[in-house]
């Protein structure tokens, strides 16, 4: 093929084709508003950084759950599983751990005969060790996904021959399974560090594992002629029936959770990991935690990341205790109190996951899940109906055998509303009664302000996210170009928001009847390298109270 | 000797609540019965420990409660929470937790224990808490004697 152009033209005659210039890109949002973050105790999951789970892998990654009667901390697992099945796209999980937690090596070594001249028996030993052994071993596996219930290793080598006789093979297939036999990983590599595959890439087992995942670290403990699976071993070739021979371990418990005595430093460490993760999420869930210390860290995270925190107040508390629970956290004093949303569900129900008996399960993560499901339904302009809060008639609790254990009086409902707590209780509507999120208040200590409404918090955080994301895209451009791009972006964004019902005309005299206004300009003091972006928006509100009067006339 | 620990905001006391609890209750046996006294001017609730809802310090009767702490880990988590609430509210002394001393041993102790019912000496609220802890359901407006009978019967059945 002869091309009619070159990429760089010198002095010669010819045609230079420049790379395609793309001015068509429109800033868009991803589906992070269908994802929530959570800090929780789990029986599986890495402890060094957050990881994503979805409804397809939640059992594999977080385990099968333990009963709440063993530890109240296990409620978080129920929340995550339920949320993923009821609308959440993903959960970003930071597993809580203490300094006593430790990950150990699963060490595989050749079994040696006893006596004066020890020799390989053809079998293998599987042990768990804090450190790598000083004595030779075949290989060691460090599984960073930290299964409390342990892992199982199995490996085998294919038959090879040398001079017509079976010879030891340095290449082996290694499988990691969970204790129930479900396959987690499979690697095919060599025990020799200089091994290459057909494409010249490293076939060294540790390198193969590293290329495939960062959750498994493998080290080898033999070199040279010893770095093989012997032909007479139980992991070599085929048995008399032609079946593959595998050397298989029992369940190796390589992770010690080290208890659940979480200190403030443990909570803070988890918070920082969730803040600086590469995963994005729009909501934070408390996961039914009863620990004010964890809630305080989540509130800080909500402030740092401008994400909404939805937390539950234990359903077995009375309204007075529920108010004390919220007040002691002093959330109203936060600058971002509108990002914190409290739910109190005095309801007992069947466990949606089936692991626990009938009991109290918080509803805050379910509220987030409904929100995630709603956010997936974007209109033609890319806006989800966030002006509809997850509350009231259209969002009943999808659980079975719900029993309300406390029926607040009107005065107690008033007390809860003043404390900015949203009750989740039975209400009667056209078509029948149901258990619903009765209100949609944020923790902002305001009386008549848009800041008190969850729908406004949802929309304003979404707008903030879009604007800051676009602003980041426009960094490191010429100032004039950056200002123009930002203005164009904001005009399009706000027009779309108004068309989608998020914004309504303002009656503020300065707004001149407009629903939105913005101002983008180079900073007055630092016009060479700083740009100021300001915008004023009038969001639509939520009808929380309706006053009805009938007047009889003649 | 009765062990007591005073918990407050670490930034004001200079002491870490987890360290204090670990030090004072190092050899404690669990479940551990403790009396918790609130010194803060506000109501506090720590749902991690069943029934731990304390009124403000001026309410002499209800600012103190006896609760059962199931294990060491729960005690540490409670300390973390108390520390956090004390820090948020800038309280140098937030709560005092004192171990409830066992009754002095005497020759008739066995007889006394046998005759003693689990509901003896408990208030109405404490009996309700104990029933909840055992997972026994009861009518919200039940009388104290009925609740005590429920508790004693359950204890006898499980003895």
Put simply, whether A148 touches B (Cβ < 8 Å) is no
A272 shares its domain with A418: yes
Put simply, whether B85 touches A (Cβ < 8 Å) is yes
| CB within 8 Å: B85 and A329 | yes
Confidence of residue A224 (pLDDT cuts 50, 70, 90): confident
Q: Which residues of B touch A266 (CB under 8 A)?
A: 80
A68 shares its domain with A174: no
β-partners of residue B7 are: B95
Question: Is A117 a residue whose pLDDT tops 90?
Answer: no
Question: Is A157 a residue whose pLDDT tops 80?
Answer: yes
Put simply, whether B88 touches A (Cβ < 8 Å) is yes
* Mean pLDDT, chain A, whole residue set: 94
Predicted local confidence at residue B16, as pLDDT: 93
Contact present, A142 and A224 (Cβ < 8 Å): no
pLDDT in tens, B7-64: 999 999 999 999 999 999 988 899 999 999 999 999 999 999 999 999 999 998 999 9
Put simply, whether A99 touches B (Cβ < 8 Å) is no
Q: What is the distance in angstroms between the Cα of B84 and the nearest Cα belonging to chain A?
A: 5
Put simply, whether A263 touches B (Cβ < 8 Å) is yes
Predicted local confidence at residue B125, as pLDDT: 76
Question: Is A252 a residue whose pLDDT tops 60?
Answer: yes
Phi, psi of B127 (to 5 degrees): -65, -40
Contact present, A266 and A236 (Cβ < 8 Å): no
Q: Which residues of B touch A292 (CB under 8 A)?
A: 46, 81, 84-85
Q: Pick from A143, A160, A161: which is nearest to A152 by CA?
A: A143
Helix ranges, chain B (H): 10-13, 17-24, 72-88, 109-115, 124-133, 144-158
Retrieve residue B91's tokens: 């309280």
Contact present, A38 and A80 (Cβ < 8 Å): yes
Q: Pick from A156, A172, A155: which is nearest to A237 by CA?
A: A156
Report if residue A138 sits inside a domain. yes
Rounded Cα–Cα distance for residues A461 and A472 (Å): 16
CA distances (Å), origin A282, targets A35, A274, A335, A371, A496: 6, 12, 18, 10, 20
pLDDT in tens, A261-315: 999 999 999 999 999 999 999 999 999 999 999 999 999 999 999 999 999 999 9
The ipTM value here is 0.84
Retrieve residue A405's tokens: 């254990």
Predicted local confidence at residue A331, as pLDDT: 84
How many domains does one find in chain A? Answer: 3
Rounded Cα–Cα distance for residues A243 and A332 (Å): 67
Residue carrying structure tokens 């009863």: A290
Contact present, A254 and A105 (Cβ < 8 Å): yes
A292 → closest Cβ in B53, B72, B85: B85
Total residues belonging to chain A: 554
A109 shares its domain with A242: yes
| CB within 8 Å: B45 and A293 | no
Q: What is the distance in angstroms between the Cα of B48 and the nearest Cα belonging to chain A?
A: 5
Predicted local confidence at residue A194, as pLDDT: 93
A275 shares its domain with A162: no
Contact present, A338 and A457 (Cβ < 8 Å): yes
Q: What is the distance in angstroms between the Cα of A365 and the nearest Cα belonging to chain B?
A: 19
Judge residue A517's burial from the number of C-beta atoms within 10 Å of its C-beta, 0-12 exposed, 13-18 middle, 19 or more buried.
Answer: middle
A262 → closest Cβ in B43, B80, B85: B80
Concatenate the DSSP letters of all residues of A20-54 into one string: PP---------SGGGEEEEEE--SSS-SSS-EEE-
B84 → closest Cβ in A292, A318, A327: A292
> Mean pLDDT throughout A332-351?
93
Percentage of chain A beyond pLDDT 90 is 89
Report if residue A442 sits inside a domain. yes
Q: What is the distance in angstroms between the Cα of B51 and the nearest Cα belonging to chain A?
A: 9
Q: How many helices (H) and strands (E) does chain B have?
A: 6, 6
B81 → closest Cβ in A291, A314, A316: A291
Predicted local confidence at residue A1, as pLDDT: 63
What angle (nearest 5°) sits at the alpha carbon of residue A53, between those of residues A49 and A56? Answer: 155
A363 shares its domain with A265: yes
pLDDT in tens, B108-142: 444 445 456 777 777 777 787 788 877 777 776 67
A373 shares its domain with A278: yes
Report if residue A24 sits inside a domain. no
Domain residue spans of chain B: 4-99, 109-158
Put simply, whether A415 touches B (Cβ < 8 Å) is no
pTM: 0.86
A321 → closest Cβ in B45, B76, B88: B45
Phi, psi of B69 (to 5 degrees): -100, 120
Q: State which residues form the domain around A424.
A: 32-98+261-457
Put simply, whether B11 touches A (Cβ < 8 Å) is no
Question: Is A516 a residue whose pLDDT tops 80?
Answer: yes
A217 shares its domain with A184: yes
A316 shares its domain with A350: yes
Report if residue A448 sits inside a domain. yes
Predicted local confidence at residue A245, as pLDDT: 95
Concatenate the DSSP letters of all residues of A421-442 into one string: EEEEEEEEETTEEEEEE---B-
Interface of A with B in 330-349 (CB under 8 A): 330
A348 shares its domain with A207: no
Predicted local confidence at residue A396, as pLDDT: 96
Q: Which residues of A touch B46 (CB under 8 A)?
A: 290, 292
Concatenate the DSSP letters of all residues of A125-181 into one string: EEEEESS--SS-EEEEEEETT--TT-EEEEEEB--EEETTEEE-BSEEEEEEEETT-
A292 → closest Cβ in B18, B42, B46: B46
Report if residue A60 sits inside a domain. yes
Higher pLDDT, A502 or B153: A502
Q: What is the distance in angstroms between the Cα of B23 and the nearest Cα belonging to chain A?
A: 14
Percentage of chain A beyond pLDDT 70 is 99
A363 shares its domain with A389: yes
pLDDT in tens, A453-469: 999 999 999 999 999 99
A136 shares its domain with A79: no
Report if residue A246 sits inside a domain. yes
Put simply, whether B139 touches A (Cβ < 8 Å) is no
Report if residue A209 sits inside a domain. yes
Q: Pick from B97, B113, B90: which is nearest to B40 by CA?
A: B90
Report if residue A543 sits inside a domain. yes
Predicted local confidence at residue B111, as pLDDT: 45
Put simply, whether A260 touches B (Cβ < 8 Å) is yes
> Last residue of a domain, which of A256, A279, A314?
A256
């Amino acid at each position: 093929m002869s091309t009619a152009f070159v990429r760089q033209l010198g002095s010669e005659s010819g045609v230079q084709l420049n790379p395609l210039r793309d001015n068509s890109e429109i800033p868009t949002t991803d589906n992070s508003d269908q994802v929530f973050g959570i800090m929780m105790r789990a029986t599986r999951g890495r402890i060094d950084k957050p990881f994503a789970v979805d409804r397809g892998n939640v059992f594999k990654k977080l385990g099968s759950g333990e009963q709440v009667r063993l530890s109240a901390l296990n409620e978080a697992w129920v929340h995550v599983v339920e949320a993923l099945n009821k609308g959440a796209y993903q959960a970003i999980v930071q597993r809580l751990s203490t300094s006593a937690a430790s990950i150990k090596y699963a060490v595989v070594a050749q079994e040696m005969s006893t006596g004066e001249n020890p020799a390989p028996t053809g079998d293998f030993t599987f042990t768990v060790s804090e450190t790598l052994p000083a004595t030779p071993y075949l290989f060691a596996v460090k599984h960073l996904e930290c299964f409390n219930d342990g892992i199982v290793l199995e490996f085998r080598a294919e038959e090879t021959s040398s001079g017509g006789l079976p010879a030891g093979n340095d290449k082996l297939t290694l499988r990691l399974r969970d204790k129930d036999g479900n396959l987690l990983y499979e690697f095919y590599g060599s025990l020799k560090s200089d091994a290459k595959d057909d494409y010249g890439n490293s076939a060294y087992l540790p390198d193969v594992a590293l290329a495939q995942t960062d959750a498994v670290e493998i080290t080898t403990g033999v070199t040279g002629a010893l770095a093989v699976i012997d032909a007479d071993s139980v992991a070599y070739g085929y048995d008399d029936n032609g079946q593959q021979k595998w050397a298989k371990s029992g369940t190796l418990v390589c992770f010690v959770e080290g208890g659940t005595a979480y200190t403030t430093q443990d909570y803070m460490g988890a918070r920082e990991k969730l803040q600086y993760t590469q995963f994005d999420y729009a909501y934070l869930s408390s996961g039914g935690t009863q620990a004010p210390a964890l809630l305080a860290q989540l509130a800080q995270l909500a402030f740092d990341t401008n994400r909404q925190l939805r937390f539950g107040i234990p359903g077995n508390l009375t309204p007075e205790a529920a108010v004390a629970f919220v007040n002691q956290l002093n959330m109203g004093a936060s600058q971002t109190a509108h990002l914190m949303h409290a739910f109190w569900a005095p309801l007992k129900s069947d466990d949606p996951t089936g692991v626990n008996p009938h009991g109290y399960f918080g509803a805050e993560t379910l509220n987030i899940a409904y929100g995630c499901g709603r956010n997936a339904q974007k209109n033609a302009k890319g806006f989800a109906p966030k002006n509809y809060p997850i509350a009231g008639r259209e969002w009943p609790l999808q659980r079975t055998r719900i029993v309300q254990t406390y029926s607040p009086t009107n005065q107690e409902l008033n007390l809860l509303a003043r404390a900015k707590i949203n009750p989740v209780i039975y209400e009667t509507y056209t078509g029948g009664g149901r258990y619903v999120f009765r209100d949609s208040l944020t923790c902002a200590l305001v009386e008549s302000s848009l800041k008190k409404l969850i729908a406004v918090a949802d929309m304003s955080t979404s707008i903030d996210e879009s604007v800051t994301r676009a602003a980041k895209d426009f960094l490191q451009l010429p100032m004039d170009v950056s200002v123009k791009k930002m203005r164009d972006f904001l005009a399009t964004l706000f027009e779309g928001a108004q068309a989608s019902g998020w914004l309504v005309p303002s009656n503020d005299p300065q707004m001149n009847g407009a629903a939105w206004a913005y101002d983008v300009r180079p900073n007055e003091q630092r016009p060479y390298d700083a740009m100021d972006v300001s915008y004023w928006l009038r969001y639509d509100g939520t009808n929380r109270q309706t006053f009805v009067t009938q007047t009889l006339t003649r | 000797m009765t062990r007591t620990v005073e918990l407050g905001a670490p930034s004001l006391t200079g002491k870490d609540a987890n360290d204090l609890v670990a030090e004072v209750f190092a050899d404690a046996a669990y479940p551990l019965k403790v009396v918790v006294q609130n010194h803060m001017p506000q109501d506090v609730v720590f749902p991690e420990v069943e029934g731990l809802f304390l009124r403000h310090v001026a309410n002499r009767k209800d600012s103190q409660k006896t609760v059962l702490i199931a294990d060491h880990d729960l005690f540490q988590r409670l300390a973390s929470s108390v520390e956090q609430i004390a820090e948020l509210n800038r309280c140098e002394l937030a709560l005092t937790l004192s171990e409830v001393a066992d009754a002095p041993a005497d020759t008739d102790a066995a007889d006394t224990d046998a005759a003693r019912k689990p509901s003896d000496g408990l208030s109405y609220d404490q009996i309700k808490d104990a029933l909840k802890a055992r997972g026994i359901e009861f009518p919200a407006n039940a009388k104290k004697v009925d609740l005590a009978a429920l508790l004693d019967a359950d204890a006898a059945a499980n003895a």
